[in-house]
Structure 1
Amino acid sequence: NFSIGVALNPVADDLDEEINRFLAKVEAGAHFAMTQPLFDPEHWHAFVKKIGGKCPIPVMVGVWPLTSYKQALRLNNEVPGIVIPETVQKELEAAGTEVRACGFRLARRMLDWAKTELAGAYLIPPFKRYEEILEIFG
């Protein structure tokens, strides 16, 4: 069985255009979608509400364990398509020397949420350190 997956960005700057592109992909035969990394379920909820309350295909969310406050700021301010909510930024900043553990805890929270509402998740290892991603399960 061959499945077609497509990209989806629920926090795109032009959300109406992103929705139009997403629905065109679905119409063209997409079987599932994978989001950019998300850091707050509310971004997903707002997207689903805007497309009518139900997603037409299964979706897997990108989960990225942040490892520093500085990294969160850089991603939020310099990487198009990634939005790190202010609440997450503040939580990382307040974590001090425990920021890495905080980032992994936040990622586990997103993973737990994805289990309840989405088809799945894919994990994005911090800086290509693939072995570290396993900590998300511990």
Structure 2
Amino acid sequence: MSRFRQAVRGGEFLITAEVMPPKGADPAHMLNMAKCLKDRVHAVNVTDGSRAVMRMSSMAAAVILLQQGIEPICQFACRDRNQIALQADLMGVHALGIRNVLALTGDPVKAGDHPHAKSVFDLEGVRLLQAIAKLNRGVDWNDKPLTDGATDLFAGAAVDPQSKSWSGLQRRFEKKLEAGAQFFQSQLVCDFDQLDKFMTKIASQTDKPILAGIFLLKSAKNAEFINRNVPGVQIPQHIIDRLAAAHDPLREGVAIAAEQVQLARGLCHGVHMMAVRREDLIPEILDLAGIPTLTTSVAVV
């Protein structure tokens, strides 16, 4: 059993972090960032064309991390592959030793660096979870037997506690639960009152863990860029003002992230850390938040 799955089942406070695959053939920077996280997080998410920006395959990048003893969570987006390719890749990552996957619908291509690419969306997040559950039962999407063995994938899903549609959030969350989601990682959280409401009103129906998304803001300009370009995210003006007034905005961003980890610790089951290209600062954020080093190193599956 993977270290992450053990931690979920053991009720530990869960810590995951996110790295981006390289935009090119050299994984050195990704590896250097991921190695900083090895004894601080239960698993490392590898993004799959996040914001529809072309990067190295999440599957290849996840295998590279696994070879270095870093347990990955391999993200799967439905934007670029049909149901045949998604199932083939899911069986493939299992054969390569990867057990943790995150099922995502995927960002629209118009948001990324290939806006004229064709979208697939043969499945979406909920149906991808259903497909994973079927593979785990030893059948394909069409309920035909897998003649060479079932998978054993530990599947999670995304959730946005700050969604403007409360009924839509609840309906989508319940569908993902029913489809087999074993854990949830949230989008960037800034409104912790809203997170508290989500945990009390919606997430209380399940024992599946919720990990709050914590994002390292590097400057006021960075926060304003996110507000303009990331749908559904609205970083409060008081945080932007705090970053703008800081003598060292990056250090202030680290302090803000640590405060948010402490807030999340009192509300949910874990945190999902995002610090684009500065993943090396995540251990410092966790230290400031009072999160200790893991007692057991992240295990190879």
- Shorter chain as denominator, the TM-score bin is 0.7 to 0.9
Could you say which residue in structure 2 is the equivalent of 1:74? 225
Within the candidate set 107, 116, 131, 2:257 is matched to: 107
CA–CA distance in structure 1, aligned partners of residues 205 and 241 of structure 2: 31
**C-alpha distance 43-76 of structure 1, shift in aligned 2 (>3 A):** farther
1:122 aligns with 2:266: no
Structure 1 vs Structure 2: percent identity of aligned residues?
29
Matched residue of 1:62: which SS? Answer: strand
Could you say which residue in structure 2 is the equivalent of 1:88? 239
Given that 2:261 and 2:286 are in contact with CA atoms closer than 8 Å, whether structure 1 keeps it comes out as: no
1:37 aligns with 2:188: yes
Could you say which residue in structure 2 is the equivalent of 1:64? 215
TM-score by length of 2: 0.41
**Please, which runs of 5 or more residues in structure 1 have no aligned partner?**
none
Which string of whole-angstrom CA distances, capped at 9 and with x for unpartnered residues, describes residues 22-51 of structure 1?
111112222211100112312202333553
Given that 1:65 and 1:124 are in contact with CA atoms closer than 8 Å, whether structure 2 keeps it comes out as: yes
Q: Which moved more, 1:78-87 or 1:21-30?
A: 78-87
Structure of greater Rg = 2
CA–CA distance in structure 1, aligned partners of residues 258 and 283 of structure 2: 11
**2:248 alignment partner AA:** E
Q: Residue 9 of structure 1: CA displacement?
A: 0.6
Instruction: Tell me the C-alpha RMSD between the 2 structures.
Output: 2.1
**C-alpha distance 30-73 of structure 1, shift in aligned 2 (>3 A):** same
Which string of whole-angstrom CA distances, capped at 9 and with x for unpartnered residues, describes residues 85-110 of structure 1?
22222222232x32211111110011
Count residues in correspondence: 135
1:131 aligns with 2:280: yes
Could you say which residue in structure 2 is the equivalent of 1:12? 163
**C-alpha distance 24-64 of structure 1, shift in aligned 2 (>3 A):** same
**2:235 alignment partner AA:** I
TM-score by length of 1: 0.83
Structure number with higher relative contact order (C-alpha < 8 Å, ≥ 6 residues apart): 1
Matched residue of 1:80: which SS? Answer: coil
